[in-house]
């Protein structure tokens, strides 16, 4: 069922909602779909809507009936309510058999201006939600193998840095050192994508690993200027697809944010599915899920902070929390929400020949996710 909310002045489209039809038919679920649609339309102060249900009558009619019953209670006028199946449509509102016969009204999209515009435009029309989800699915084959190797190398680089800090007895936190180079690297990759470039497996792996640090992720979030939306969509789609298990939530959540920002709620939702499948408790993904499911408009997808404000916020938190050492001589695991600290990027070589053995506990010998791998 697709529900389209329109403005009152010129009937411009203000909001589009899509729901799966309860199958098998369920009056309780049908009422839930209708209530949610009415609530979202009401929250956006939309008073006029049209809806189209795609499929057989036994699935569409319960939702259509519930929508017709509940919309007036929310002060919403349903101007049209259709069912579409096999290139015919039926109206739940029009009872005139001269224009809406019982056998349905045939239609042909071939020559419709909208169909022609979509066929010749840059955007590809996807046939289903499953096809949309496939656009953010993990890479496999040779690309997947390359990413597993690159991720092991990135993990090994992190492990070597942590060991180096521990041996040196330096006060600086390894987490802060990683965050410093991570912020610089991710910022560079953002600018490369704005210039039309892409990321190699080595760079993509490093980006996915350092994004587990909240300071790096939040800095990247603060750089998602809407005027670069298409470049950002391309960037985070690539990193989400290439990221290995345990490193998906941050890039997938950033993809969801820029998709919402661009008005693509469907893409935002499938990106959030990927984030939450990898970490059901990932707070950024849960926050964005609430926003998208509430029908919040893209105008509310504002940047939380500037990069300078992000840096100041984390500096203040670090000053309050101390140097990042937990007091027992060991450095806390690098990718949690707490304190962080400054380092020489010579410690990291994106194209190095390290074999990842020092940090290979996330993967077993067959390049699969180890059962005991840690997540944030």
pLDDT tens, position by position, 309-323? 999 999 888 777 654
Q: What is the pLDDT of residue 352?
A: 38
Q: Measure the CA–CA gap between 42 and 73, rounded to whole angstroms.
A: 10
Whether residue 205 sits in one domain with residue 350: yes
Longest CA pairwise span in the chain (Å) = 86
Query: Domain total for the chain?
Result: 2
Pick from 197-201, 250-254, 292-296: least confident: 292-296
Q: Measure the CA–CA gap between 172 and 182, rounded to whole angstroms.
A: 16
Whether residue 250 sits in one domain with residue 102: no
Provide the CB-side half-sphere exposure for 299 (13 A, CA): 4
Average pLDDT of the chain is 83
* Residue 123 binned pLDDT confidence (cut-offs 50, 70, 90): low
Residue 56 confidence (pLDDT) above 60: yes
Residue 347 confidence (pLDDT) above 80: no
Domain that holds residue 121: 2-125
Whether residue 115 sits in one domain with residue 145: no
Q: What is the dihedral of CA 186, 189, 193, 198, to 10 degrees?
A: -120
Residue 16's CATH number: 3.40.140
Residue 125 confidence (pLDDT) above 70: yes
Residue 220, H or E segment: helix 214-222
Whether residue 95 sits in one domain with residue 243: no
Q: What is the pLDDT of residue 322?
A: 58
Pick from 43-47, 74-78, 341-345: least confident: 341-345
Tell me whether the omega of the peptide bond preceding residue 24 falls within 30 degrees of 0, making it cis.
yes
Whether residue 210 sits in one domain with residue 62: no
Average pLDDT over residues 346-356: 39
* Residue 131 binned pLDDT confidence (cut-offs 50, 70, 90): very high
Whether residue 164 sits in one domain with residue 108: no
Q: What is the pLDDT of residue 89?
A: 96
**pTM for this entry:** 0.76
CA 280 remoteness from chain centre: 14
**Pair type for strands 48-54 and 77-85:** parallel
Strands (E), 148-194: none
Specify which residues 313 forms β-bridges with: none
Q: What is the pLDDT of residue 198?
A: 96
**193 in a domain, yes or no?**
yes
Residue 82, H or E segment: strand 77-85
Whether residue 201 sits in one domain with residue 56: no
Residue 233 confidence (pLDDT) above 60: yes
**329 in a domain, yes or no?**
yes
Of residues 176 and 261, more confidently modeled: 261
Residue 206 confidence (pLDDT) above 90: yes
Whether residue 157 sits in one domain with residue 73: no
Whether residue 308 sits in one domain with residue 249: yes
Q: What is the pLDDT of residue 354?
A: 39
Give the chain's end-to-end CA distance (angstroms, integer): 37
């Amino acid at each position: 069922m697709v529900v389209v909310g329109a403005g009152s002045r010129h009937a411009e489209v203000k909001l589009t909602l899509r729901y799966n039809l309860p199958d098998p038919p369920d009056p309780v679920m049908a009422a839930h779909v209708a209530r949610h649609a009415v609530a979202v339309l009401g929250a956006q102060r939309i008073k006029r809507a049209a809806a189209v249900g795609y499929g057989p009558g036994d699935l569409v009619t319960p939702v259509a009936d519930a929508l017709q019953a509940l919309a007036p209670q929310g002060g919403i006028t349903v101007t049209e309510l259709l069912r579409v199946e096999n290139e015919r449509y039926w109206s739940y509102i029009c009872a005139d058999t001269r224009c809406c016969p019982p056998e349905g009204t045939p239609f042909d999209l071939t020559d419709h201006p909208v169909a022609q515009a979509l066929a010749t435009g840059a955007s590809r029309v996807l046939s289903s939600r499953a096809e949309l989800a496939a656009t953010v699915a993990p890479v496999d084959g040779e690309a997947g193998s390359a990413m597993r190797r690159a991720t092991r190398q990135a993990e090994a680089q992190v492990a070597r840095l942590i060991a180096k800090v521990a041996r040196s007895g330096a006060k600086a936190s390894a987490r802060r050192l990683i965050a410093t180079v991570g912020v610089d690297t991710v910022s560079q990759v953002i600018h490369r994508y704005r210039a039309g470039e892409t990321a190699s497996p080595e760079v993509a792996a490093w980006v996915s690993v350092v994004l587990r640090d909240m300071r790096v992720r939040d800095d990247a979030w603060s750089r998602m200027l809407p005027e670069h939306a298409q470049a950002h969509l391309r960037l985070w789609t690539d990193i989400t697809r290439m990221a290995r298990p345990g490193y998906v939530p941050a890039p997938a959540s950033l993809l969801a944010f820029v998709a919402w920002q661009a008005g693509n709620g469907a893409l935002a939702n499938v990106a959030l599915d990927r984030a939450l499948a990898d970490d059901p408790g990932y707070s950024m993904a849960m926050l964005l899920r609430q926003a998208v499911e509430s029908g919040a408009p893209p105008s509310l997808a504002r940047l939380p902070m500037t990069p300078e404000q992000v840096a100041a916020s984390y500096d203040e938190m670090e000053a309050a929390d101390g140097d990042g050492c937990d007091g027992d001589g060991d450095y806390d695991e690098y990718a949690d929400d707490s304190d962080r600290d400054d380092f020489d990027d010579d410690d990291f070589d994106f194209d190095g020949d390290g074999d990842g053995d020092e940090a290979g506990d996330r993967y077993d010998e067959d390049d699969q996710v180890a059962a005991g791998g840690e997540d944030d």
